[in-house]
């Protein structure tokens, strides 16, 4: 019995040493991948934010256009011309505006429940 326990203890020690070697090897391998994976992570977080808050992104784009086009008057002038030339832009904007204002998930379920009761 004692021999079996000693054998198990030796095997456990060998496995722990092997695990430590594998951890060190993994740390060396992933050392040069840290910065690129951080950039990818930031990009994914940006995409998630754009997906969750399209109205904020649209407001930011509008603010940048306003600043770049010399104020609201320039934005209105150019915007009116573009809408006159491309009427489908109106429907495109309205489609995404309605999607941004539409309740999703639990809000939709509770609204439906409140209407029926």
Q: Which residues are CB-contacts of 99 (< 8 A; sequence separation ≥ 6)?
A: 54
How many whole angstroms from its chain centre is CA 68? Answer: 27
Interatomic CA distance for residues 54 and 48, integer angstroms: 10
40-85: pLDDT as tens digits:
889 888 888 888 888 888 888 777 776 665 666 666 677 677 667 6
Interatomic CA distance for residues 43 and 17, integer angstroms: 38
pLDDT for residue 24: 93
pLDDT for residue 77: 72
73-116: pLDDT as tens digits:
666 677 677 667 666 766 676 676 666 666 665 555 555 555 55
Interatomic CA distance for residues 59 and 100, integer angstroms: 12
Higher pLDDT, 31 or 66: 31
Tokens representing 33 are 């991948």
Q: Which of 55, 57, 62 is nearest to 46 (CA)?
A: 57
Helices 54-68 and 71-85, interaxial angle, to 10°? 110
End-to-end CA distance of the chain: 72
């Amino acid at each position: 019995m004692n021999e079996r326990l000693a054998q198990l203890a030796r095997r456990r020690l060998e496995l722990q040493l092997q695990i430590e070697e594998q951890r060190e090897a993994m740390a060396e391998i992933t050392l040069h991948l840290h910065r690129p994976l951080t950039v990818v992570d930031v990009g994914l977080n940006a995409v998630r934010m754009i997906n969750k808050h399209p109205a904020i992104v649209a407001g930011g784009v509008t603010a940048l256009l306003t600043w770049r086009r010399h104020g609201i008057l320039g934005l209105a002038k150019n915007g009116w011309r573009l809408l006159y030339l491309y009427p489908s832009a109106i429907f495109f904007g309205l489609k995404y505006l309605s999607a941004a204002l539409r309740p999703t998930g639990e809000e939709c379920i509770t609204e439906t429940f409140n209407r029926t009761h």
